[in-house]
Amino acid sequence: MSSETKPIPHPSVFVDKKRLELIKGYRVHEKRTPAKPLPVTPSQTLGPFFSLGLIREGDDDLAARAVGGPRAEGLPIYVTGRVLDEDGKPVRKALVEVWQANCRGKYEHPDDVTPQPTDPNLKAFGRMLTKDDGSFRFRSIKPGAYPNPGYDNWMRPPHIHFSILCAGVMQRLITQMYFPGEPLNDIDPILNGVEDLEARALLVAKELGRNEQGETGYEFNIVLRGKAETPFMLDH
């Protein structure tokens, strides 16, 4: 290390959870129960016809707005993985929803006021049901890093947001998938907010190499519970 190079402080030194709470959308905890009891809506069966209309053709391809339409800018990728329970058994028909920024780190959302352009061809949102072996797969482009305004403009590493809903889970589980070998991973307060190193490593996908379509593959498994549980974050 040269004399001018300052060592990067360990994330736990600079992660200030109180300040993190000030950022819109990144509250780390909140009161989740009403002040007084409310009458409970009775539950009823879901019925067999829910999922068909919920998943449409092309929902597993974030890199095109329409099936067969022009592709979004950026490194083509696919992400595959399995949703597993604590015993490693596959969870079938789990609803996996994903969303991400474009290759320049821009979300197509009114709250994203960064100056980067949006990509007219990027759908950026996807939705899949896991198969009988618990697997899911979607196509996309690698998202870019982006500054987080309001908190020292720290650069968030490339990541894909995940939401998982399945039988027996009363509230959706949310987490983020990171890409291996990204220097920003080492200094991201949200990723490094997972203090257990082994658990933190579970959030970094494994690179699988390139397929015949020229897409770089990533494996990201989601474990709902137990020792190898994927770190989940609070919903907001």
Q: Which residues contact 35 (CB under 8 A, 6 or more apart)?
A: none
Catalytic, out of 78, 82, 127, 146: 146
Exposure string (b/e) for 27-55, b if CB count within 10 Å is 16 or more?
A: eeeeeeeeeeeeeeeeeeeeeeeeeeeee
Among residues 104, 161, 172, 200, the one annotated as catalytic is: 161
Residue 161 is a catalytic residue: yes
Q: Which of 26, 78, 82, 107 is catalytic?
A: 107
Which is the catalytic residue, given 139, 159, 178, 218?
159
156 is catalytic: yes
Of the residues 82, 139, 156, 218, only one is catalytic, namely: 156
The C-alpha atoms of residue 228 and residue 132 are separated, in whole angstroms, by 21
Measured CA to CA in angstroms, residue 149 lies from 20, 43, 61, 146, 189 at distances of: 11, 41, 29, 9, 14
For residues 207 and 61, what is the distance between their CA atoms, to the nearest angstrom? 19
151 catalytic, yes or no?
Answer: no
Residues with active-site annotation: 107, 146, 156, 159, 161
